[in-house]
Amino acid sequence: MITEAEFIQNIEQYIIPCIAKGNPSPDTLESYMKHIRIFLKWCHKNNRQPLKMTEQQIRIYYQELLDKGYKPLTIHIKISALKALYRAAIYQHLIFDNPCSSIQTQGGNPPTLRYYLDMNQLQVVCNAYNDEPDDFVRNRNTLILYLFSVEGLRPVDIFRLNMQNINWENYTIEISASDVSDVTQTQQIYPCQETINVLVDYINSIPGPIIDELIGKLAPLIISNSKNNFAGRLSRNGMRLIINNALDKAGLKVSGASANLLRNSCGTNLFKATNDIKLVQQTLRQQNIISAMKFMEDNPTLSKRATNIIAPKRSK
């Protein structure tokens, strides 16, 4: 049996089985750990022992979050991280009860919706780098935002993309993915004209020194211009920072959500615009229709509130 000190020191190791059925994405794990560290600092500042907290003491922390003006979704994420922390402690036989189990929080936009950005919000996000003076950085960062929010690609899809995956004759992009049997398959995606325009601007803005470095090589599509990785493949952490910065500039940052937020937005907005769940499945390359059905659940406006088509429009 481990000690409390060992548990706290190695919390990331013990918390993974308690998040997302034991398979959290890097974004999710990073978010949980960030909120847990903030909580641990709060405990230290207030002379509290984290694993001896009572429900009443957790409610004091919860009230402080409210008093500081955190949004309901942010508080929901913070308390979810604490619930996972205490589940992990229970699994290690360090405590018997979860002091957060009775604390209810409100997550998402309305209670039944997954968080996503509507088309107007995405417009602001995708314009976040318009004031960037460096053409290459501006176009690269904007392309990343479009590939996530408009084309619905996953971080690993974009990370693996090479220049050679682009068919300039047909304006298609070849995506490599593994199926349930871990067999690598390729799929063609058909980006919209707006994404193609951003892609062309990006290609045309690649600096000469980077082109010189990539001649004769398998060239990544999303290129780093940092000194430590000049002309190399931009890391997924690098893409995450670009997305987070865009969300921050737009005033739309949600703790723990970056690439997944944009991808959710793609699926949700596409269903809102078309009411075609099969199209959503194909665009996001979901393995089955059930996986795509969540985007229908995110849209009660279309699936349940049909009377909006006959409602008089108010003038303000």
Q: Which residues of the chain have a pLDDT value below 50?
A: 108-113, 179-182, 300-316
pLDDT of res. 303: 45
B/e letters for 94-130, b = 16+ CB within 10 Å, e = fewer, are bbeebbbeebebebeeeeeebbbbeeebbeebbebbe
Tens digit of each residue's pLDDT (9 = 90 or more) over 214-249: 998 899 999 999 999 999 999 999 999 999 999 888
Domains of the chain: 4-91 (1.10.150), 119-302 (1.10.443.10)
pLDDT of res. 273: 87
Confidence (pTM):
0.59
